[in-house]
Amino acid sequence: MKEVKRFRKLLKPESTALLIIDIQDRILPVISNYERVIEYTLKLIKGFKVIGLPIYYTEQYPKGLGQTSKAILDELKDIKPFDKMSFSCSGAGNLFVEFREKNLSQIVICGIESHVCVQQTVLDLIENGFQVNLAADAVSSRKEIDYQTAIQRMRHHGAEVTTTESVLFELLNVCGTPQFKEVSKIVK
């Protein structure tokens, strides 16, 4: 009997990391649906913790834009941010190098703004051979047209556009485990 193949781009825990981009207090009030971005980012963080996967986050010019939102910082606790001045996270110190050194080839992305820092990061990750899974319910921009256009462009160039719940259940692969039960509570 022939072996059943699974889709090669399904997320695998051993190669996946979460990257949270620039969810900072001073810009949040002008972001469309920012409450949703925070809610789904928190679900991703909690789910990644349950599964035991690495989490990274960036702050764009923190001196001017402030720290990451307190709700998110409370969940990140001992994780240190990668500060950046460039829009793309490719300019956030040795972040991409660290992904490579830790054999992290599948990067789940959430954050703001979808048409600037998120989009440039996604495109640079793809250009550098990473698979990007974009949690569309955990990204946003100030204007809906910027959000929609960025999603289309990132998808066109190879990003896997998905949702928070899809990401977490894809990483779990099976139901009935203690991790599944914990993640199920998180996504409800």
Cα–Cα distance between 4 and 32 in angstroms, integer?
A: 42
pLDDT score, position 1: 74
Residue 186: which residues within 8 A CB-CB, separation 6 or more? 43, 46, 47, 50, 168
| Tokens matching residue 28 | 């949040």
pTM of this prediction exceeds 0.95? yes
pLDDT score, position 64: 87
pLDDT score, position 62: 87
Cα–Cα distance between 18 and 31 in angstroms, integer?
A: 21
Which one from 43, 84, 89, 124 is the annotated catalytic residue?
84
C-alpha separations of 88 from 71, 79, 91, 115 in Å: 24, 20, 6, 11
Which one from 110, 117, 124, 137 is the annotated catalytic residue?
117
Max alpha carbon distance in the chain (Å)?
A: 61
Whether 117 is catalytic is yes
pLDDT score, position 129: 97
Contact between residue 45 and residue 52 where contact means Cβ atoms under 8 Å apart: no
Whether 2 is catalytic is no
Which superfamily does CATH assign the domain made up of 13-187 to? Isochorismatase-like (3.40.50.850)
Whether 77 is catalytic is no
Return per-residue pLDDT of the chain as tens, 188 residues. 789 999 999 999 999 999 999 999 999 999 999 999 999 999 999 999 999 999 999 999 988 888 999 999 999 988 999 999 999 999 999 999 999 999 999 999 999 999 999 999 999 999 999 999 999 999 999 999 999 999 999 999 999 999 999 999 999 999 999 999 999 999 98
| Tokens matching residue 42 | 């928190």
C-alpha separations of 51 from 26, 28, 62, 83 in Å: 31, 28, 30, 26
